Amino acid sequence: MLKWLEKNLPKIVMAPAVGLIGWFVYGFVLWTLYISFTNSKILPKYELWGVGQYVKLWGSRKWLIAVDNLLIFTALFLIFCVVIGIILAIFLDQKIRAEGVLRTIYLYPMALSFIVTGTAWKWILNPTLGIQKMFIDWGFENFTFDWLVNREMAIYTIVIAGVWQSAGFVMALFLAGLRSVEDEIVKAAKIDGANLFTVYWKILLPMMRPVFFTSFVILVHISIKSYDLIVALTQGGPGISTTMPALYMTQTAFHKSQVGLSAASAIMMFMAVAAVIIPYLYSELRRENAR
């Protein structure tokens, strides 16, 4: 008995982690998957009902708006975060004085919660006393900036706040990537007469492909899950113009008590994340095994 215990001790120690994740992650996802095929309303029902919830989901205008918003947000969020992040990383890589201070400033928003960020930007962007008033007081009398309360434009305010929060993160990733490149490569290119622009554009950035990939995965992941920022900034409004899937899911589940439908929307989100993450994990693991 004692021998057995000793031999299996490592596995016993690991059991809590595996058990908890098995139950609370995989078990729960499977439960949600099952419920998405039932006609559950307030309480879960267990008789199968087929794909009715999915049909309902994709026929719902609100869900379609949510998906549309997600696509707009993800595209813009990705582009701006990556462009700003790369620019900052390359600029900071030029033996800048006070690099540490600047880096700290660029990255501090990552330490804040999305609720804090949303609260701050909501105040800054509010049309009566925020940026609009600032410009009017400066003499631009016809300046209007009412995106926060404008159905067409409100989604872009979420992009503004999201980029502000996450661009520094991309910078940190690229800076780490650039610093890991050996100096000889850059020196050799310079001896061959390449200027700094060519060095970055033709040599260093192409070498950063894994970093691009990582940033892409992390940012898409953040945007699919984005929930807090919308709650704090617009609550999905005006109207339902800034709804996103995560918000749709919680509202359907906890305010409208449509458990089956919200499970279906959660499964759609899960599949979207899995489509991005599984190839990523696969390639990471292969890279590790190759070494």
- Binders in 48-77 for another protein, by CB under 8 A: none
Structure tokens belonging to residue 235: 């609550």
Q: Is 147 in contact with 154 (CB distance < 8 Å)?
A: yes
Residue entry with tokens 């990552």: 110
Collapsing DSSP to helix, strand or coil, 48 comes out as strand
3-class DSSP assignment, residue 38: strand
- Exactly one of 81, 159, 189, 246 binds another protein (CB under 8 A); that residue is 246
Q: How far is the CB of 188 from another protein (least distance, A)?
A: 20
Residue 100 to residues 105, 161, 163, 264, 274, Cα–Cα distance (Å): 9, 24, 21, 46, 36
Of the residues 143, 156, 212, 270, which one makes contact with another protein according to CB under 8 A: 270
> Which residues in the 107-136 window bind another protein by CB under 8 A?
107-117, 119-124, 129-131, 133-134
Site for another protein in 150-169 (CB under 8 A): 164, 168-169
* Using rule CB under 8 A, residue 32 touches another protein: yes
Residue 187, SS3 per DSSP: helix
Q: What is the rounded CA–CA span in Å between residue 72 and residue 77?
A: 8
Least Å from the CB of residue 59 to another protein? 20
- Of positions 150, 198, 214, 241, contacts another protein by CB under 8 A: 214
Q: Give the separation between CA 53 and CA 258, rounded to whole angstroms.
A: 10
Q: How far is the CB of 117 from another protein (least distance, A)?
A: 8
User: Residue 251 phi/psi, 5° resolution?
Assistant: -65, -45
Residue 228 in contact with another protein, rule: CB under 8 A: yes
Q: Looking at residues 176 to 195 of the shown chain, list those that interact with another protein (rule: CB under 8 A).
A: 176-177
Indicate the DSSP class of residue 148. Answer: G
Interface with another protein, residue 207, by CB under 8 A: no
Nearer to another protein, 58 or 123 (CB): 123
Question: In the set 42, 192, 259, 286, which binds another protein (CB under 8 A)?
Answer: 259
Comparison of 155 and 252: residue with beta carbon closer to another protein: 252
Q: What sign results for the dihedral spanned by CA atoms 233, 173, 210, 214?
A: negative
At residue 235, what are phi and psi to the nearest 5 degrees? 50, 30
Stretch that binds another protein, among 5-13, 61-69, 73-81, 186-194 (CB under 8 A): 5-13
What is the nearest approach in angstroms of another protein to the Cβ of residue 155? 19
